[in-house]
Structure 1
Amino acid sequence: MSTTIGASASLLLNYTRSGQAVLDAQPSLAQLLSEDATTGSQLPASATVALSDEAKAYLARTSAAAATDSGTSLATRAANARQWFDQQYQALGISSALIDGKVAVDLTGQSRATLSAVAANAQGLFSKDESAAAATALQSRFDAALTPYAVVARHTGNYVGLYDAALSYVNAAGPDEQATKAWQDQKQALVDGAAVARANPGKAPVTKNAADPVQALLGKASAGGTGTPQTSIAAVAANARALLDAQADSAKDKGTKLVFDDSDKTGQQVDFSAFDNRSLAAIALNQGSAFSAGEIRTAMTELDQRNRASVLDTLKATSGGSDGASASLALVNRYAAMSTEEKAALGVSDRFTSQLVQTYQSIQATQGRLGGNASQGLVGYL
């Protein structure tokens, strides 16, 4: 059965592997995204923005960490966290989780449920500094997942989509976190913020609500403080090399070899299920000249297949691609969240992503005119 996914699908599938068909003289995406929203087309969008693959992967990792807490009571998590803090203080020779207002302990290994318990001072076991440090870590994780959507919202004016993505993230919290006043205030702030965004399309809602994590994120972005640390590509390549070597060793243990061609039945077929897209891109780009021709070819094939499948899923999620504005915006979000290495491996240029942004703006402008009020855009159209 064939599926019609609209004009946006053909646009994307023609461009995915290279920027060959992109129109000439397009500004770079960096230029577009750095424009002041008040100087460009403030054309609102009502399309819902789903979390990107990267954000979903982040949620999956935090969900996996939370799984270790799934059979643990809140009291036990709090007691374990109390013990962990005490051990950290002894090992580091400090007496507080904050030093000069900055977090002085490494909370990256703590689950979201544990951080929530500390932030809420569960069982009364934690100091103000410890609760503040945990709250800071929770906001940092939120920022890391939502920053790509803030970038896109600032250019497209689709702040409703940003708030929808934030609500998806917040709703992924466990029952103990959802029972806290902080979570309930945050959820209500996001619902209220989304309502303001819908009523005032094309610009960021001004809620002045301290519980609104989107407002906190946008405030940091305005001050230039939203750089999210990322593992170096050299480290990603080294990890990919180690994973491939482990599979090769496993094949040897079974008296066979690791093979990279589906038609080769003489050995153990390589398995990329444990590799994220950035790792595949590192192999395809042969970072550090650490990979063989077979590894490069197979990783590129896997990355390309994943990209095409994700594109089709994105378009199907936007009414099968029939709503051009929704489809274009979903693709803008997808490529904004893609790593630099993925873009390089797939041939996705700034010119290509700029064209997606312009396609979205053009459709929005047309729909606004048809609706009789360009300032209302898709809100009036839908």
Structure 2
Amino acid sequence: MSTAIGTNLTSLFSSAGRGYTIPAAPSLAQILTDEDKKKTSSSPSTIISLSDEAKAYLAQTSQPANSDAMPLETLATNARNWFDQQYEKLGISSAILDGAVAVDFSSQSRATLSAIVSNAQKLFSKDEVKAAQSALQGRFDDAMAHHVVIARHSGDYASLYDAALAYMDEAGADERNTASWQAQRKALVDGAAAARKTFGKAPNTGNSDDPVQVLLAKTSEMNSPSSGASSGSIAARARALLDDQINAAADKGSELVFNARRTFGQQVDFSKFDNRMLATVSLNQDATFSIDEARAAKAELNQRNRLSLLNAINSGNSSDPSAGSLAMIKQYAAMSAEEKSVLGVTEQVMNRLVRGYNSLLSVQSSFSNSGTTGISAYL
């Protein structure tokens, strides 16, 4: 009998420290590759000839994907054009409105954001620079989220600073030449040294250039699309979305149903619900939702977390015994308080998980120091 991760998450967290692994399922890429092999083995090949103009166009359009390799001047020019297009598309005139970033930087590379922050070619306004700074800090926060969880549960803030330094060192040459990068890296080096002297607590560097200090000072939840909203407003939004579906079903002479085994009615659609919203419906603290609605929301949340965790584990290093624990820690770091409550993720669970993860790292380190290539050689 198999155990669903979402429905028994606590026991799964506990077993991670004992080397628990999950068999990897065939990936979509593998399935498609197999299907492609079947087709090509029985079907004649089709040869498509491209003109020189088409080849040149494809070469030109494929280059921007690797924006890190672009000259700084090109990055700045492209960013300037992107801002102008966004303003025209959104009908706005600034990257910041009412104190909040008004443009979506998700399609822009780290190198592009750095070019904006440094105001390369003097092409950007103060608001554009400030917005890009916020986006860069946000990406740093996302990358460091699980390291923060580990540091707070283990007291090892030096490793958090080491991880931050590794992230900083992934920067391209242009970013490394900026004053902001150099100031932040120096602050991190100083912070790492201070953290090694104050095990058990975060060092008080008092340095405004220290991105770890900025991150630790934040109290809002990370990685949740609805993190800035109150529980009441999230419940109201969820209620409105469900009512829209109920009304749409009634207009068709049907009803909204919450059980996949039902053969009639219109099945509820949770695609517009993020995980915090699902958890809010499941908790149903204000009795805003029916029993069926709360039960269906919890089932959907369990399924999402199960698939997310499986994907995280399967995408990691299968030969690394600590990969499963790290995947669970990352999953935990992305959860809202409501999700943790629904799934039973407590501080005790995280303490066990972090201890197990650190123990595995310690064992791996001892094997590495003894001249082996990894723990897997001894298993």
- TM-score of the two chains, using structure 2 as the length reference: 0.57
Q: For 1:185 and 1:120, how far apart are their aligned partners in 2?
A: 7
Name the count of aligned residue pairs: 280
Q: For 1:302 and 1:84, how far apart are their aligned partners in 2?
A: 35
Shift of 1:365: 2.2
Q: Is the 8 A contact 1:153 1:159 kept in 2?
A: no
Q: For 2:12 and 2:312, how far apart are their aligned partners in 1?
A: 23
Shift of 1:255: 1.7
Q: Which amino acid aligns with 1:280?
A: L
Which of 262, 276, 279 is equivalent to 1:278?
276
Q: Is the 8 A contact 1:13 1:308 kept in 2?
A: yes
> What fraction of aligned residue pairs are identical, expressed as a percent?
30
Instruction: Answer 1 or 2: higher relative contact order, Cα 8 Å, separation at least 6.
Output: 1
Q: For 1:1-382, what aligned pairs fall within 5 Å after superposition?
A: 13=5, 16-18=8-10, 77-79=82-84, 105-112=98-105, 116=113, 119=117, 126-127=124-125, 129-152=126-149, 154=151, 155=154, 157=159, 181-182=174-175, 216-221=210-215, 224-225=217-218, 227=220, 230-320=228-318, 322-372=319-369
- Unpaired runs of at least 5, structure 2: 16-77, 197-208, 222-226
Shift of 1:360: 0.8
Cα pair distance change 1:147/1:319, threshold 3 Å = closer
Q: For 1:269 and 1:84, how far apart are their aligned partners in 2?
A: 36
Give CA-to-partner distance per residue, 1:334-381, whole Å, 9 cap, x none: 21221111111011111111111011112122233334469x998xx9
2:55 is matched with which residue? none
| Greater gyration radius | 2
Cα pair distance change 1:239/1:164, threshold 3 Å = farther
* Bigger mean CA offset, 116-125 vs 139-148: 116-125
Partner SS for 2:101: coil
Cα pair distance change 1:183/1:286, threshold 3 Å = farther
Partner SS for 1:278: helix
Give CA-to-partner distance per residue, 1:299-335, whole Å, 9 cap, x none: 1111111112222222222344x52222212222221
Partner SS for 2:272: coil
Q: For 1:153 and 1:356, how far apart are their aligned partners in 2?
A: 9
Q: Is the 8 A contact 2:364 2:374 kept in 1?
A: yes
Q: Which amino acid aligns with 1:241?
A: R
Q: For 1:83 and 1:317, how far apart are their aligned partners in 2?
A: 39
Q: Is the 8 A contact 2:14 2:353 kept in 1?
A: no
Give CA-to-partner distance per residue, 1:43-83, whole Å, 9 cap, x none: xxxxxxxxxxxxxxxxxxxxxxxxxxxxxx75554446778
Partner SS for 1:302: helix
Shift of 1:256: 0.9
Aligned-residue Cα RMSD (Å) equals 5.0
Cα pair distance change 1:146/1:230, threshold 3 Å = farther
- Unpaired runs of at least 5, structure 1: 1-8, 24-72, 90-96, 98-102, 171-177, 204-214
Q: Is the 8 A contact 1:19 1:351 kept in 2?
A: no
